[in-house]
Amino acid sequence: MSHEPPLSGIRVLDIATFVAAPFCGTVLSDFGAEVIKIEQPGTGDPLRRFGTPSDCGDTYVWLSEARNKKSVTLDLRSERGAALFRELVRQSDVVLENFRPGTLEKWGLGFEALREINPKLVMLRISAYGQDGPLRDKPGFARIAHGFSGLAYLAGEAGRAPVMPGSTSLADYISGLWGALGVLLALRHAEATGHGQVVDIGLYESVFRLLDEMATVFAKTGFVRERLGADTVNVVPHSHYQTADGKWVALACSSDKMFERLAQAMRRPELATDPRYAAMAGRLARREEVNGMVADWIGSKPLETALAECERYDVPCGPIYSISDIFADPQYRARGNIAEVPSRAGPIAVPSAIPKMSRTPPQFKHAGVALGAHTDEVLTSLAGATAAALAALRSDGVI
């Protein structure tokens, strides 16, 4: 049974652009928060033009990631626009921003100024390097964060150039998730104490925090992890292998017990007792040899046979999917991971919101709306603007 959304009653002002901080708003909106996206009059968020254009003029990434949000146009750099924004802040709980540090302060809209209006205000600030430190003023995008965080250094084949680790927007999305966590923590604190706070995230920090033991091991031993292609630094065999029909699988064998099962699946049970391979240390010392044996075995079978053999012996193994494979997969269908929803460009498919919640599931209200679709509604209901005032503001380019 569906209940009241858990974030119902929370109002969020999203004045950010592109993906990082706005994705926090998307996550919050999926679970009931009222998210008002404030965009520059005439042009709007550059994300509207970033990616593949749809028939309605905005891109598909906009239609997907701006879902559930209201759109208001407001020039925050103008005196009247800033005044209207302050009135919205007075009646809101959260502000999301990702300008270069100091930009909002120049406009008189920094956190210290806004907290005078609303002491419980929570402000999420995502920037390339965070709000302090010697690099605070430098610009940056997710690709820069992937490099600065240490992630891109690990991506690619040994001895070859570093490559892009998956999506170019990965750090943006991860930062948005950390941002959502920080906002929820800050809201809980504000509810208990009456005091808001800043949630400060550098794009690179969001990725660096996820690099398992690298920092700890380097500090203790000086070990610098290098690129290993599809392999894993501390585990063998734990890689990608091509099947006889040209497909690829990911196989994870992270313990000696798993290797014993793999040896049985390969019909080579003696490998599990051979002192060269029985323990992980031995397999790591013979990485190329062990990978070669597994690659020969996987390569002798078509995909479905290789998967079935691994499943029979309880060896973790799965296909490496393209997006086409994903759309055809019954697990994705069973979990409802892809939703077909209406939009201004007709029906579109979007990744469904996660996590699944047994009592308060996420809700889809609408795809990304047209620029300024809710300007009159929001400024009338929350800022007391009259029809005449709206007409004047529009004429002067403030909205």
Q: CA–CA separation, 313 vs 311, rounded Å? A: 5
Q: How high is the mean pLDDT of the chain?
A: 97
Average pLDDT on 280-285 reads 98
- Phi first, then psi, for residue 266 (nearest 5°) are -80, -5
Q: Which domains does the chain have, with CATH numbers?
A: 11-209+337-395 (3.40.50.10540), 238-325 (3.30.1540.10)
What confidence tens digit (pLDDT) does each residue in 23-62 have? 999 999 999 999 999 999 999 999 999 999 999 999 999 9
What pLDDT score does 3 carry?
77
Give catalytic residue positions.
Answer: 172
What pLDDT score does 2 carry?
55
Q: Which residue pairs, CB below 8 angstroms and at least 24 apart, start in 47-50?
A: 47/17, 47/18, 47/19, 47/22, 48/368, 48/371, 50/18
pTM for this predicted structure: 0.95
Which two structure tokens, joined as six digits, stand for 244?
């006889």
Percent of the chain at pLDDT above 70?
A: 99
What confidence tens digit (pLDDT) does each residue in 307-341 have? 999 999 999 999 999 999 999 999 999 999 999 99
Average pLDDT on 257-274 reads 97
Stated length of the chain: 399
For 227-261, the three-class secondary structure string (H helix, E strand, C coil) is: CCCCCECCECCEEEEECCCCCEEEEECCCHHHHHH
